[in-house]
Amino acid sequence: MGNLLRCSSRQMSEQDTSSSLNLLVEMMMHPRIKKLSSLSGKRHSAPPTQPLTWQGVLGIGILLAAVIAGLCLVYLWQEATIRDLTAQREYTQDRLIATHDVNRWLEFEVGKAFRLERVASLARSELGMIEPVTIHYVYVDKSAPEN
C-alpha cells in the first residue's frame, strides 16, 4: 500500500498500475477487511413486488384524476381573481381620471374667483366701496416708540 501512495505523485507505468491493483485486490481479500466491507456494505433486498391489480390501477387513475381536477380548479380560481382585479384596476383608473378633471375645473374656478378685477368689482357693487381719487401717504417714524 505504501507503494501505491508513493506512485500518486509521479506518472505510473502500466506495470506499476497492474502491480498496484494486484496489491489492492490482495488487501481487499484479507479476512478482516472482507468482514468489515461485508458489514458496511450490507444490502437489504427489497420485498418481492406484486403486479398491479385492476383495483390498484383504478385507484391510481382516480388519484391522478383528482390531482388534475384540483389543478384545473386552481387555474380557474386564479383566472377569476385576475379578471376581478383587472376590473377593479380599470374602475379605479377611471375614477382617478375623473378626479383629475374635477381638480382642474376647481383650480380654474378658484383662479377666476380670486382675480383682482372680480374682487374690485365685488367690493364696489356689494360693499359700496369706491376707488380713491387722491392717495394720502402717512409717514411713520420707525424710531418713535409705539404706545
Q: Which three cell numbers stand for residue 2?
A: 505504501
Q: Is the pLDDT of residue 47 over 90?
A: no
Q: Which three cell numbers stand for residue 40?
A: 458496511
Place of cell 383495483: 55
Please state the three-class secondary structure of 75-130 as a single string.
Answer: HHHHHHHHHHHHHHHHHHHHHHHHHHHHHHHHHHHHHHHCCHHHHHHHHHHCCCCC
Q: Is the pLDDT of residue 63 over 80?
A: yes
Averaged over 44-58, what is the pLDDT? Answer: 80
Give the percent of the chain with pLDDT over 90.
38
pLDDT tens-digit map of 72-108: 999 999 999 999 999 999 999 999 999 999 999 999 9
pTM flag (> 0.75): no
Distance CA 142, CA 128 (A): 34
